[in-house]
A and B are shown apart, each in its own frame.
Chain A
Amino acid sequence: MSILADRRTRLLVQGITGREGLFHASQMLEYGTQVVAGVSPGKGGEWVLGEKVPVFDTVESALTATGANCSVIFVPARAAADAMLEAADAGVPLLVCITEGIPVQDMMEVRAYLTGREIRLVGPNCPGLLTPGECKVGIIPGHIAIPGPVGVVSRSGTLTYEVLYALKQRGIGVSTCVGIGGDPIHGTNFIDALEMFEADAHTEQVVLIGEIGGTAEERAAEFISDHLTKPAVAFIAGQTAPPGKRMGHAGAIVEGGEGTAADKIEALIAVGVPVAEHPEAIPDLLKA
């Protein structure tokens, strides 16, 4: 059991002939993910990865031929909004966008377009999904996590790997890890992921990894207080970040006194969520 991605995921890779797309498609395939198709306009008819994966010109044709039910997007930033809209229009129910650096206004349009449609977007600027032992959609290294009962949701990339690795070293397994991404405007948020973990019979507790910028962690704390019956623990990155400076991620910025790590930590502790002092301390806070 898991959320979003599992053995039944039939994955389409948009941008499969690019350097990143091809490399990670091979990693996903090696992990056991069913990579059923790639899309690369102008390269339809080719085969990649040892003739295992057919390439199509359009998402629509890839979908018709292969029955893909999830698309992972490695398309460069300036074309990424178009790639998301193309997949949405073709009827892909789950989009995972890895691409970093997409213009904010493009993302606002994509989000407005997806509103009211039965399509879930994860990302952009995210590491994707990992359901250990079953499926990986994106770039999370497969070997750093083992299957188990802990759900992980995070705004970060390598910081998430750090936490997965710390859990693995203590023998703690993960149901699904969801990277929701570091952009200010994105699809799936903390609350969406927490709702899914709450409904997932196999997930027993949840790790939330947040960072400075915006108020998503504060809203997640409210949700946890009102709706999450499973225990949750958290880590918030950026306690030492100065205000007004963007810390790498487009969304990681304290603006107008809003978005500080201190506020987020306070909100989480107030609803009984223990907050780790450093990422490697997270396993200590989980229920045995």
Chain B
Amino acid sequence: MLLVDWLYVGIFVIVGAIMAALPLGIVWVLSPRLALPQKRMTYESGVVPFGQAWAQFNVRYYLFGLIFVIFDVEVIYLYPWAIVFRQLGKFAFVEMLIFLVILMIGLAYAWRKGALEWA
């Protein structure tokens, strides 16, 4: 039954979180605790860190993220199509063909415009 399935998922999340946090609890009990300021400094290959922790990042991260979102949405359409297209005959296949071709044009466009280049 539907809701029972998801009850299992919910319980798995809760139990999983508890069981994952359990070792942390054990550590909290067992571990030595000596608060030295050096321990809490940010790691930078053994030297004192300098400068701000962030840097001006390139727009390429954003581009990859965006292209990923677009294609993820496309993939969402593919999931139901994959299980019903058999029963719907030829035109279902052609519809999806059109859809994928349009999106592959998008991929080609991104490729040509260098949006997929990391450099």
A and B part of one assembly: no
Point out residues on A near B: beta carbons under 8 Å: none
Point out residues on B near A: beta carbons under 8 Å: none
